[in-house]
Amino acid sequence: MDADQQRAVLTLCLMAAFADGANSDAERAEIKRIAGTLGADSALDAAIYQDVPRNKPDVRAVAAAITLPEQRQLAYEMAVGVCNADGPITPAERAFLESVAVALGVEQSSAQQFVQNARALAEPSLAGPAPDGPIVAAMPADAAALDATILNYAIVNGALELLPQTLASMAIIPLQMKMVYAVGKAYGFELDRDSIKELLATLGVGLTSQFLEQFGRKLIGGVLGRLGGGLLGGAGSVTTGAAFSFASTYALGQVAKRYYAGGRKIDAATLQQAFTEMLGQAKQLQTKYTGQIAEQARTLDLNKLLAAVRP
């Protein structure tokens, strides 16, 4: 996939991010940052971000630059994923995705099946065991068991960055939400999706922007779909992505542990500072688990994992 095709795919993803018109100022700023970062890593440039909300490109014109059937399927799947990142799609997003499917010539049954899979991941099952791990015991909380659970989630999410399937990327956010739910439950809090999303937003973990960044790294790294030669076949940006997903998941889990252990009485500024500090520590810790992340990627049963996340 050359730079023009990459640009077209990412343009569709940005269009998907803005499709519902409900982005907060913080989320828009984060999307802008990501567009600039992706531009720095390839022949793309941050002007793509300016063009989408300002000029509202024509879907058919953008789609025309994406020529091969597998590229078109990939572009559609990425757009669906971005629309579903922060929850079930809105009517505006549904209309946008229908126009994308038509413009890309995606076969209807294939499009519908993928939308159904994405919808299931947009409303993940929060209860139940961790991937390849036990259910975290309820109160009194076992700090060592929680640390092991958080580490397990971080390794799995790092491994998901290395897999070529689009659905692998889509499972990262639901697993992070599932982890936070387990941590809260261990301290006696029965959380719902909205309360978990509120904590993530407080920490600056935007759902749409995080998802867009994951896809962008994997697209430019050449790992998504059948375009990059399969598992672990991408460039350095993919390795960076695995490190970031490990670190962000680990930091999120540790800050959630501190937050719920303290009875949810920590203010937003303190939480944000703690997350920033823990993210730095987690990035250093990740190097210790590089081998385990790679091994997890080789042996991970994606279908089994997705079944555990779906409601």
Residue 261 lies in a domain: yes
Statement to judge: residues 195 and 87 lie in one domain: no
pLDDT at site 235: 41
Predicted TM-score (pTM) of this structure: 0.78
Q: In sequence order, which residues have a C-beta less than 8 Å from that of residue 258 and are 6 or more positions away?
A: 266, 274
Statement to judge: residues 255 and 209 lie in one domain: yes
Q: What's the rounded Cα separation, in Å, for the pair 22 and 91?
A: 12
Statement to judge: residues 159 and 301 lie in one domain: yes
Nearest CA among 20, 108, 114, 12 for reference residue 64 = 12
Domain's final residue, options 122, 154, 174? 122
Q: What's the rounded Cα separation, in Å, for the pair 53 and 59?
A: 13
pLDDT at site 226: 44
Residue 136 lies in a domain: no
Q: Is the pLDDT of residue 108 over 50?
A: yes
Residue 166 lies in a domain: yes
Residue 237 lies in a domain: yes
Domain that holds residue 13: 3-122
pLDDT at site 223: 56
pLDDT at site 101: 94
Please give the residue that has the higher pLDDT: either 138 or 131. Answer: 131
Contact between 135 and 129 (Cβ < 8 Å): yes
Q: pLDDT digit string (tens) for 49-102?
A: 677 777 788 999 999 999 888 889 888 988 888 888 777 788 988 899 999 999
Domain's final residue, options 93, 122, 151? 122
pLDDT band at 5 (very low <50, low <70, confident <90, very high): confident
| DSSP code at position 2 | -
Q: In sequence order, which residues have a C-beta less than 8 Å from that of residue 274 and are 6 or more positions away?
A: 255, 258, 266
Average pLDDT, the chain: 80
Statement to judge: residues 157 and 205 lie in one domain: yes
Domain's final residue, options 75, 92, 122? 122
Statement to judge: residues 43 and 116 lie in one domain: yes
Question: In this predicted structure, which of 3-7, 105-109, 233-237 has the lowest mean pLDDT?
Answer: 233-237
Q: pLDDT digit string (tens) for 139-193?
A: 567 888 899 999 999 999 999 888 878 788 888 888 999 999 999 999 999 899 8
Residue 127 lies in a domain: no
Please give the residue that has the higher pLDDT: either 119 or 239. Answer: 119
pLDDT at site 266: 92
pLDDT, mean of residues 288-308: 87
The CATH number of residue 68's host domain is 1.10.3680
Q: In sequence order, which residues have a C-beta less than 8 Å from that of residue 85 and are 6 or more positions away?
A: 122, 173, 207, 208, 210, 211, 212
pLDDT, mean of residues 10-34: 71
pLDDT at site 233: 38
Contact between 71 and 10 (Cβ < 8 Å): no
Statement to judge: residues 188 and 296 lie in one domain: yes
C-alpha pair distances (Å), 29 with each of 33, 173, 261, 262? 6, 20, 32, 31
Statement to judge: residues 72 and 23 lie in one domain: yes
Q: What's the rounded Cα separation, in Å, for the pair 308 and 311?
A: 8
pLDDT at site 129: 67
Q: pLDDT digit string (tens) for 212-248?
A: 777 766 666 665 544 433 333 344 444 567 888 899 9
Statement to judge: residues 78 and 166 lie in one domain: no
Q: In sequence order, which residues have a C-beta less than 8 Å from that of residue 199 and are 6 or more positions away?
A: 180, 256, 259, 271
Q: What's the rounded Cα separation, in Å, for the pair 121 and 153?
A: 16
Statement to judge: residues 177 and 297 lie in one domain: yes
Q: pLDDT digit string (tens) for 239-295?
A: 567 888 899 999 999 999 999 999 999 999 999 999 999 999 998 998 899 999 999
Contact between 122 and 176 (Cβ < 8 Å): no
Q: What's the rounded Cα separation, in Å, for the pair 13 and 32?
A: 13
Please give the residue that has the higher pLDDT: either 38 or 286. Answer: 286
Residue 138 lies in a domain: no
Domain count, the chain: 2
Statement to judge: residues 158 and 109 lie in one domain: no
Please give the residue that has the higher pLDDT: either 18 or 221. Answer: 18
pLDDT band at 29 (very low <50, low <70, confident <90, very high): low
Statement to judge: residues 11 and 85 lie in one domain: yes
Residue 36 lies in a domain: yes
Q: How many CB atoms lie within 10 A of CB 140?
A: 9
Statement to judge: residues 147 and 246 lie in one domain: yes
Q: Is the pLDDT of residue 211 over 90?
A: no
Residue 135 lies in a domain: no
